[in-house]
Amino acid sequence: MAADHFRTEHSEHLPMHVPFDICQSKSKSKSGSALSLKPSLFAKNKEKRKEQECFKSSEKHILLRKGMVLLRKYISLSNQINIIKKCQELGCGPGGFYQPVFRDGAKLHLQMMCLGKNWDPEMKSYGDRRSIDDACPPSIPVEFNKLVEQAILDSQVFIKQDQKLSNVEDVLPGMSPDICIVNFYTESGKLGLHQDRDETPESLKRGLPVVSFSIGDSAEFLYGDNRDPDMAHKVVLESGDVLIFGGEARHIFHGVPCITRNSAPSSLVEESNLLPGRLNLTFRKY
């Protein structure tokens, strides 16, 4: 009772949090100049055919380094749209998207939402509530977990066949996530090189993987063994890509230096009304 009373009293002194919507309203998306030329039906169909071909050539698995796999175009267009809609719903509700601000006034160049547990980027720790509004993080949707688990299984099969391994768990352990950080990068969004080391010692010791979903605009992704961007490797992550790094690769330094503008599939934007930018979900086991 006393704790509940403190929480209610404490929440009255917290600043009001304004939700961030990752999708633009249909009225806004259609507004603009008074006169605009619409592409011909042939041009529209040509663009859709191009995108469909892109999504059909989705069986491209790339081993970037031991324990690090890139699944190209792994998430179908319909699943990407469903993920966007679910993130929009959760992001506009309690514990939804916000822009982290540090005590010195510095801000992360993105909007963030945590699922399962709240991660504090300044304290570098997990908790049940976040300090800005005392909100509890939403739970991870079941359909997200299933997609993560299947992506890990498919990556293990690929590694086992590619490396002729008897026990693939030694290279890429299996994992069912219980935490997820959802970041929305606007066109000017970025994130410096860092390591994901705030999970439990057991999770880190076992090398349980980080699984990353990319949706929307493409992004340059840097990864390496230290914080020097000039020494880092680079790969472009496109809409529908899934990146997994675990085992020996679990502690790599990684970051996003820039977003490629207007690179999201047009059909994805049309169906979801996603704002210009990149939606990124990173799953892990606490």
* Structure-model confidence comparison of residues 114 and 56, the more confident one: 114
Q: With 90 as the cut, is the pLDDT of residue 89 above it?
A: yes
Q: With 50 as the cut, is the pLDDT of residue 36 above it?
A: no
Burial 189-224 (b: 16+ CB within 10 A, else e): bbbebeebebbeeebbebbbbbbbbbbbbbbebbbb
Q: Does any domain span residue 238? A: yes
Q: Does any domain span residue 1? A: no
Phi, psi of 50 (to 5 degrees): -65, -45
- pLDDT given for residue 106 in this prediction: 85
Tens of pLDDT, residues 207-241:
999 999 999 999 999 999 999 999 999 999 999 99
What CATH number is attached to the domain comprising 162?
A: 2.60.120.590
Q: With 90 as the cut, is the pLDDT of residue 154 above it?
A: yes
Instruction: Report the chain's mean pLDDT, rounded to a whole number.
Output: 86
**Structural domains counted in the chain:** 1
- pLDDT given for residue 9 in this prediction: 39
Q: What is the distance between the alpha carbons of residues 243 and 164, in angstroms, rounded to a whole number? A: 21
Asked if 162 and 191 count as a contact pair (C-beta separation under 8 A), the reply is no
- In the numeric block, the tokens 């009304």 are attached to 273
Q: What is the distance between the alpha carbons of residues 154 and 91, in angstroms, rounded to a whole number? A: 29
Looking from the CA of 63 toward its CB, the CA atoms found within 13 Å total: 15
Range of the domain at 146: 57-284
- pLDDT given for residue 56 in this prediction: 35
**What's the order of all strands across the beta sheet hosting 179-185?**
60-65, 68-72, 242-245, 210-216, 278-284, 179-185, 111-115
Angle at CA of residue 272, ends 185 and 258, nearest 5°:
20
Maximum pairwise Cα distance, the chain: 67
Residue whose C-alpha is closest to residue 70's, from 176, 190, 219, 178? 219
Q: Does any domain span residue 17? A: no
Q: With 50 as the cut, is the pLDDT of residue 108 above it?
A: yes
Q: With 60 as the cut, is the pLDDT of residue 72 above it?
A: yes
Tens of pLDDT, residues 236-278:
999 999 999 999 999 999 999 999 999 999 999 999 999 999 9
Q: Does any domain span residue 105? A: yes
For helices 142-163 and 77-91, the axis angle rounded to 10 degrees is 140
User: Side chain identity at 127, as an amino acid letter?
Assistant: G
Q: Does any domain span residue 221? A: yes
Predicted TM-score (pTM) of the model is: 0.83
**Sign (positive or negative) of CA dihedral 3, 9, 14, 16:** positive
Q: Does any domain span residue 216? A: yes
Q: Does any domain span residue 47? A: no
Asked if 268 and 217 count as a contact pair (C-beta separation under 8 A), the reply is no
